[in-house]
Amino acid sequence: MGAQNDAGGHLAAVLTPEEQEGQARFDAVIAQDSRIEPRDWMPEGYRKTLTRQISQHAHSEIIGMQPEANWITRAPSLKRKAILMAKVQDEAGHGLYLYSAAETLGTPRDVLNEQLLSGKAKYSSIFNYPARSWADMGAIGWLVDGAAIANQVPLCRASYGPYGRAMVRVCKEESFHQRQGFEILLELAHGTEAQKKMAQDAINRFYDPALMMFGPPDSDSPHSSQSMLWNIKRFSNDELRQRFVGMIAEQVKVLGLTLPDPELRFDEETGKWIHKELDWVEFKAVIAGNGPCNAQRLERRRVAHSEGAWVREAAAAYAEKMARKTEVA
Ligand code: BYC
């Protein structure tokens, strides 16, 4: 690809004939709402956007293991402990599918990992809030995994094949996660007064951060419109946020608890749910690295990575040995 000045004097990319052919094929695949695969030609912007989104998503799964892993040893029963361990392991698995999907776009996993450890890469804002009580395991499952499902089900139809396919399995597992979170809250809500209070307190603290998971308002979302044209995102951040609010507004009634949102209502005229204004200054601070737990989460990840060095070395040595064996044979 070369570059030349366009009519406005800006530097515009000039495509070679092969790239023009690739672009035409790419446009046709997107117009047919079909899938782009790793071997296909794709515009650099598409590759970059997907690498960014998928790797941020992978990092979120890996960092997202921490708030819950901290509660494994404090789970109130053996059954709860086994369920929580399985959930945290699922999240590790999601991270692996997603790093694999991101790698098919050409950036190796150790580069992506380095971006996370150096603090350069983003991961979901939600994981920079502390998990203070057992009820938070319920609120995380119900609200955080619930928001994740609302966001990720449309991603199963993302135009990039490896991402869409990874999302199918992730969503199935997230559904189980949400149900277990809801069930924790249900049990607490029907327990003692203190347990009910603990469940309500967890919902009060996680409601706003869970709504922020959908990203900034549409008016302040630089990537949304292009990602929607490329059939990566199917709905805007605000659209998914209000849908999610509608779901939990009904579910919270079953719990006999409330959402901390006096403005919450269904607007008959627009057919949309209206929720309170969120604190976007706080959101920006959290994604810039200044949330309550950002430093702690990254430090824990760095320690875990360095403690796992021997596993990577052993795996690399084994792979090398096997490769030599094949050469000799
Ligand atoms: N937190 O133009 P926008 C899980 C960034 S894990 C942090 O709207 P986009 C789970 C955004 O990256 C759930 N950063 O961007 C795991 C961009 O920054 P850059 C994770 C955020 O990409 C364990 C800038 O703000 N889910 O489920 O079109 C236990 C402008 O935003 C956030 C995913 O990753 C945020 N909340 O839309 C339990 C889903 N929001 O790159 C559960 C896949 C925005 O320009 N990702 N930013 O520096 C997506 O669907 C989209 O990337 C987003 C944002 C909707 C998140």
pLDDT tens digits for range 140-176? 999 999 999 999 999 999 999 999 999 999 999 999 9
CA distance 163 to 171: 12
Ligand 1, atom 32: closest residue by C-alpha: 215
Q: Is 51 in the pocket of ligand 1 (CB under 6 A)?
A: no
- 71-96: average pLDDT: 97
Half-sphere exposure in the Cβ direction for 133 (13 Å, CA) = 19
Q: What is the mean pLDDT of the chain?
A: 95
Share of the chain above pLDDT 90, in %: 93
CA distance 290 to 299: 14
Q: Specify whether the backbone of 289 is left (phi greater than 0), alpha (psi in -120 to 50) or beta.
A: left
Contacts of 255 (CB under 8 A, 6+ apart): 182, 185, 186, 189, 199
| CA 88 to mean position of chain CA atoms | 14
Q: Is 124 in the pocket of ligand 1 (CB under 6 A)?
A: yes
- 114 has a pLDDT exceeding 60: yes
Ligand 1, atom 26: closest residue by C-alpha: 57
- 11 has a pLDDT exceeding 90: no
Strands (E), the chain: 2-5, 11-14, 265-267, 272-274
- pLDDT tens-digit profile of 115-141? 999 999 999 999 999 999 999 999 999
From 66, 94, 129, 287, mutation site for ligand 1 pocket: most ligand atoms within 8 A of C-beta: 287
pLDDT number for residue 12: 53
Phi, psi of 86 (to 5 degrees): -65, -40
Q: Is 145 in the pocket of ligand 1 (CB under 6 A)?
A: yes
- 307-319: average pLDDT: 95
Give the Å distance between the CA of 235 and the centre of ligand 1: 13
Give the Å distance between the CA of 217 and the centre of ligand 1: 12
Q: Is 141 in the pocket of ligand 1 (CB under 6 A)?
A: no
- pLDDT tens-digit profile of 39-66? 999 999 999 999 999 999 999 999 999 9
